[in-house]
Copies of this chain bind each other. A is one copy, B any other.
C-alpha cells in the first residue's frame, strides 16, 4: 500500500486508511506486506508506485486525487506506467450528472477529478462520485476515509476471484438513527448482499447514502426496490 499523505508525515492526522485496509485484507485472507507513506512530491510518488507495483501482486494507493493543486497522484501514476492522462469522458459524465443533480457547478477544480490515465478502469465511488481507478496492478483511491472505505469495498471482491460486485446507491435525507433499524432488518433478509450506510451533510441537509452490493443483479435490484419502499423514496 502507498499512502500519499503530507498530513500524516507532518503529524497533523493519525493514519486511518492503512489501519482500515490492513483489517479488510486480513479478513479476506490477503497478506499486507508493506506500506509506504510519502509526501505530495511527484518524484517520490512515481518512484514508490513503480517499486511497489514491481515488488507485489497488488498495490493500493490512498490520497491525492481531489480537486486542489496538490492533488497530483493521478498524474504521477500515469507517469509511472508511461500512460497518457487527460480529462476522460466517462469520468466527466459521472461528475456532470452528480453536480447537475445537486445544483453545484462542475468547475475547473472539480474537473481535475476526471483526469484519469487512458488505460485505467474506473473504481466506483458511491459516496461522493468522483471515481478512483485501476491501472495494471495498482488501485488508486481517495484519502478521505469514508470514500477510501467505499472504494476498498468496491475493489476487494475482485481480488478474491469472485464475480464482479454490483452496487446500487439510494440517497436518503434521513438521520442514520432513523435508517438503522429498518436497514438492519433488510440486511438480515438479504444476507447474501452487503449493505453500507455513508452519512453526509451538504448545504445544511443531513442524510446518508445507502449502498447495496452483491454479485447477483436481480437480488441487488430486489433489495433496492425493498429499500425504496421502506423509506418511500
- A residues sitting closer than 8 Å to B (CB atoms) are 6-16, 18-26, 31-40, 44, 66-70, 104, 107-110, 112, 143-146, 175-181, 183-184, 187, 195-202, 204-206, 209, 211
Q: In the bound complex, how far is the Cα of B10 from the Cα of A31, in angstroms?
A: 8
Q: In the bound complex, how far is the Cα of B207 from the Cα of A200, in angstroms?
A: 11
Q: In the bound complex, how far is the Cα of B91 from the Cα of A50, in angstroms?
A: 41
Q: Which residues of B contact A16 (CB under 8 A)?
A: 14
Can you list the 8 inter-chain pairs with the closest CB atoms, starting with the nearest?
A11-B23, A11-B22, A109-B180, A35-B37, A110-B177, A201-B204, A68-B180, A14-B19
- Other A-B contacts than A12-B209, A68-B184, 16 sampled, CB-CB below 8 A, are A8-B22, A9-B33, A9-B34, A11-B19, A11-B23, A11-B25, A14-B15, A15-B18, A34-B36, A34-B37, A36-B36, A67-B176, A69-B183, A107-B181, A112-B180, A144-B201
- Measured CB to CB, the nearest residue on chain B to A22 is B11
